[in-house]
Structures are given as structure tokens and as C-alpha cells.
Amino acid sequence: MAVKLFVLGLPGSGKSTVSRGIAEYVSENWGWKTTHINDYAILQQMYHDDSQRIQFKPADCGGFDVLDLTVFDIALKRLEQTTKQQVLSAKPEEMFLIEFSRNDYQRAFQQFSHPSFLKDAYFLYLDVSIETCKRRIRERITHPTTPDDHFVSEFIFSTYYNKDNGQDIPYILEKDYGIDKQRVTIIDDMGSLQEASPEIHSFIDLLLPVRLPV
């Protein structure tokens, strides 16, 4: 069956860059298709639908800020629905790269309707300091190169992303869902993708042990 890989970390931690690298790697080395799902598009649509600006407000560079933090929970529920629908029609040799950022991953995982959505998945957390994430966001807005180069404001960092318990993800998943820690890896993504790639590729190879590389 298709493989689900959650790619997690703060805004600016490199999730989309890493996801693109994984997609290229599994295509070239395993012959697998990848589908990328993230909650930014969901939140962006919620922002556009909020015409009275009750839950969101405009931000610089065409971005938006969240005023009502419960929208983060709603977005995860919609992300789950979208993923489940697409997995139903997926081929066995397909990987779903599911990307989102949260400040409390225990609460985030609780938003999913059934533990099975997590239990058969794998998890990659990118460990990057808040200041490094902010610097990367400034750089990508100044010199955008991909459609994923979104603006994230100081406001949302100070009101929501001022904490991050990503280092606890292996323990949260083991304690709350019985998920083996071997399904989780934490990557130091403070440098370049090239520097992190060998560790990421080793983890990906462990996810696909029953099929020979192409």
C-alpha cells in the first residue's frame, strides 16, 4: 500500500525543500510516485473565505496572519480528509509527503479522527532554530525561487510559533499511539539540503525495504 510520510518542522525549517528532494530521490532510485500535501493551501483558502477578517488578517508580501488559533486544528482535520481521499485511489508504489507546522505536536496529532491515520505512517522532523527559520523566510521572500516561498510574519512567530516541541515527537507518538520510534527521525537541517540528504536518504531507504531500487 501507499506510504505516508509526515514532514514536520517550523515555518522556514526547509520542509518543502526536503519534500522536493525526497520526491526526486524516490523517483530516481525506487521508481515511486510522490504526492505532496500541505496545509498552507488549506489555511490560505480559509483566509480568503474569511471575508469579515474574524479569524485572519492580511500580512505583508501577500501573506496572512492567524487571529483565531483554532483554525490550525480545523486545517489539520481537512488535511486528513484530503489525504484519506487521495490514498484510496493511490497506487501501492506511491509516497504521500504530508507537510505542516505546529507549535504543539501532541495537540496536532489529536486533531486526526482515528489513530490509524498515524499508526501506519512515518515521521520526519526538521530541527532548526527559530532565528534560522526567520532568516530563511526573509531570504526566500527577497529572492523567491519556488511557489512554496511563502511569507511568514513576526506576528505569528511571536503569538504562535514562540515554542516548539518537535524534539518530543518520538515520545509523543510512542506514548499516545504505540508507534515505534524507528518510524520517526529528527534531522538537523541547519545547513544545506545537500548536507542533510545522506541522513534523509538512509531513512527513506528504511521505509521501502521490500522493493528493490530501480
pLDDT tens digits, one per residue of 10-29: 999 999 999 999 999 999 99
pLDDT tens digits, one per residue of 30-75: 899 999 999 999 999 999 999 999 999 999 998 999 999 999 999 9
Domain that holds residue 163: 3-46+72-206
pLDDT at 174 over 90: yes
pLDDT at 213 over 70: no
Is residue 57 a part of any domain in this protein? Answer: no
Percent of the chain with pLDDT over 90: 82
Question: What is the average pLDDT value for the chain, to the nearest integer?
Answer: 92
Contact 126, 8 (CB under 8 A): yes
What pLDDT is attached to residue 214?
44
What pLDDT is attached to residue 107?
97
Is residue 108 a part of any domain in this protein? Answer: yes
Total tally of structural domains belonging to the chain: 1
Q: Residue 39, exposed/middle/buried by CB under 10 A (0-12, 13-18, 19+)?
A: buried
pLDDT tens digits, one per residue of 128-166: 999 999 999 999 999 888 888 899 999 999 999 998 999
Pairing state between β 94-100 and 3-8: parallel
Is residue 52 a part of any domain in this protein? Answer: no
Is residue 34 a part of any domain in this protein? Answer: yes
Residue 134 to residues 118, 124, 153, 200, 211, Cα–Cα distance (Å) = 29, 21, 9, 23, 39
What pLDDT is attached to residue 209?
58
CATH number at residue 166: 3.40.50.300
Spatial distance between the Cα atoms of 167 and 146, rounded to a whole number of angstroms: 28
What pLDDT is attached to residue 132?
93
Is residue 132 a part of any domain in this protein? Answer: yes
Is residue 213 a part of any domain in this protein? Answer: no
Is residue 157 a part of any domain in this protein? Answer: yes
Is residue 212 a part of any domain in this protein? Answer: no
